[in-house]
Amino acid sequence: MEAPGTAGVMAMHGEIPQGCDVLVIGGGPAGSSVAALLAKDGIDVVLLEKARHPRPQVGESLIPHFWKYADQTGASGLIEQAGFIEKAGGISAWNGKIHRIAFAEFGFTRPALHVERDVFDQLLLNHAENQGAKIHQQVAVNRVDFGGSRPRVHYLDKRGGNACEGSIVCRYVIDASGASALLAGQFKSRKLIDSRMRFLSLWGYYENARFIASDGASHPAADIGKVKPVTFVTSFEDGWIWHIALRRLTSVGLVINTDRTRGMNRSERERFFLETCRRTPHLDRLLEPAEYQDNSFCERPDYSYYSTRLCGENFYCIGDAASFVDPIYSHGVLNAFYNASMTALAVNESLKDPSRSARHAQLCENRMRQFYGFSRSLALGEFGGDGVDAQLVQHFMRSVPKVELELMLAASFMSERSENFHRLIREAGLDRGSSPARTHFMERLEL
């Protein structure tokens, strides 16, 4: 290993080594999973996380496909024990039409979940540590220097009150820094997508909100845990809204075009959020008995982006650090897990035979682009624009397990966002036999 020039930093919470095989930036689902997978195989992994877990995070709805990745990392047992809310399916009220899907009809043997992300993400991070990854929280990576024979990762260690700088040399660096997209920023490879499909999100949390079950009837908050909720999604004139019932609180958020709140300050945006929730049909009923949690308002600005450079001989960008698509189909955490799984494989093989590093990086990048294109075709009507290759996506569609494709196909009838997904499915000859039959049309909701 190259002799490091900067001494490792001794801090209250343990010494950050001067070198390692793999350095992971960020301890969200992507970073924790790739760290767990590599550490499990005996690889020397260091993960630097700028926050201190549990830290708040949005994205509470998980579709059932995620279990196969949790099985790979070995985290499934811990997730099962955590007692998250099992959800029954989804209901959407989109431009006046109500649709419902129930996971039980697809033959999934394990549940979809509504998770408190602070709890879920901490669990994954602890799991990575238990697999042998060296985790250092409150350490923020500033930049990665690719000038030498190996990447040198520069960080600011904020533990113990005093901020001090340091650096660590590694063979592979994996950027899992989420929306910060550290390497994409450094490479200037981050691209925003077409302005018509560029969104921001405003959300907050309510206590005591009613929730909807899969039969379309609503229940009081006290029934959560006894009756399975669905994720409820409704369109409104400016975008769409989610309602996700958690154990104590309900997460409610708007997704709207970035132009919609231009010129508003933060308190005006919060007011816009609250007023929209109050006057949106169905949601107004669910929130009637609820109390909004003061100081729970959050926002994520303009977030539909992708990076044109994902994997190279000694770097990988995964999860939200690689791309982000509108969250309507709950693909974010799944994408993070998928990217982590592909990257662990590529890095593992590259460590065994470094002469093939470039080849593994290229294969991994192709896989990640397939998944990104798949998610994007589902969620964004304007498919086929920059950054997406239709043939790669169709290749991916053919390789997806039938039950997963059928669920996505059924889900794609719940909004009016998926016409390109339908076209790709048709052109790939995958529509036969998997009709929208499992998307049920409903006359009305009993709220």
198-227 residues in contact with ligand FAD (CB under 6 A) are 201
Q: Quick check: 333 binds ligand FAD (CB under 6 A)?
A: yes
Per-residue contact string for residues 253-292; x = within reach of ligand FAD by CB under 6 A: x---------------------------------------
Q: Choose which of 19, 64, 90, 178 interacts with ligand FAD (CB under 6 A).
A: 178
Report the nearest approach of ligand FAD to the CB of residue 356 (Å). Answer: 26
Tell me how far apart the alpha carbons of residues 335 and 318 are, in angstroms, rounded to a whole number: 9
Give the residue among 20, 81, 26 at the shortest CA–CA distance from 50. Answer: 26
Tell me how far apart the alpha carbons of residues 408 and 109 are, in angstroms, rounded to a whole number: 17
**Cβ(211)–Cβ(283) under 8 Å?**
no
Q: Quick check: 166 binds ligand FAD (CB under 6 A)?
A: no
Report the nearest approach of ligand FAD to the CB of residue 60 (Å). Answer: 5
Tell me how far apart the alpha carbons of residues 50 and 47 are, in angstroms, rounded to a whole number: 10
Q: Which residues contact 445 (CB under 8 A, 6 or more apart)?
A: 91, 93, 98, 212, 216, 217, 218, 282
Residue ranges with strand state E in 347-446 = 440-442
Instruction: Give, in order, the Cα–Cα distances in Å from 268 to each of 279, 404, 439.
Output: 16, 41, 38
**Cβ(315)–Cβ(173) under 8 Å?**
yes
Q: With respect to ligand FAD, which residue has the nearer C-beta, 229 or 319?
A: 319
SS3 call for 325: coil
Q: Quick check: 233 binds ligand FAD (CB under 6 A)?
A: no
Q: Quick check: 22 binds ligand FAD (CB under 6 A)?
A: no
107-136 residues in contact with ligand FAD (CB under 6 A) are none
Q: Quick check: 60 binds ligand FAD (CB under 6 A)?
A: yes
Helices (H) and strands (E) in the chain — how many of each? 12, 25
Part in contact with ligand FAD (CB under 6 A); list of ranges 232-240, 274-282, 319-327, 361-369: 319-327
Task: State the number of CA atoms in the 13 A half-sphere of 324 facing the CB.
Answer: 25
Q: Choose which of 16, 79, 141, 230 interacts with ligand FAD (CB under 6 A).
A: 141
Tell me how far apart the alpha carbons of residues 24 and 273 are, in angstroms, rounded to a whole number: 36
Q: Quick check: 167 binds ligand FAD (CB under 6 A)?
A: no
Q: Choose which of 18, 46, 50, 316 interacts with ligand FAD (CB under 6 A).
A: 50
Q: Quick check: 58 binds ligand FAD (CB under 6 A)?
A: yes
Q: Total binding residues for ligand FAD by CB under 6 A?
A: 39
List residues near ligand FAD by CB under 6 A: 25-31, 48-51, 55, 57-62, 140-141, 176-180, 182, 201, 253, 300, 303, 319-321, 327, 330, 332-334, 336
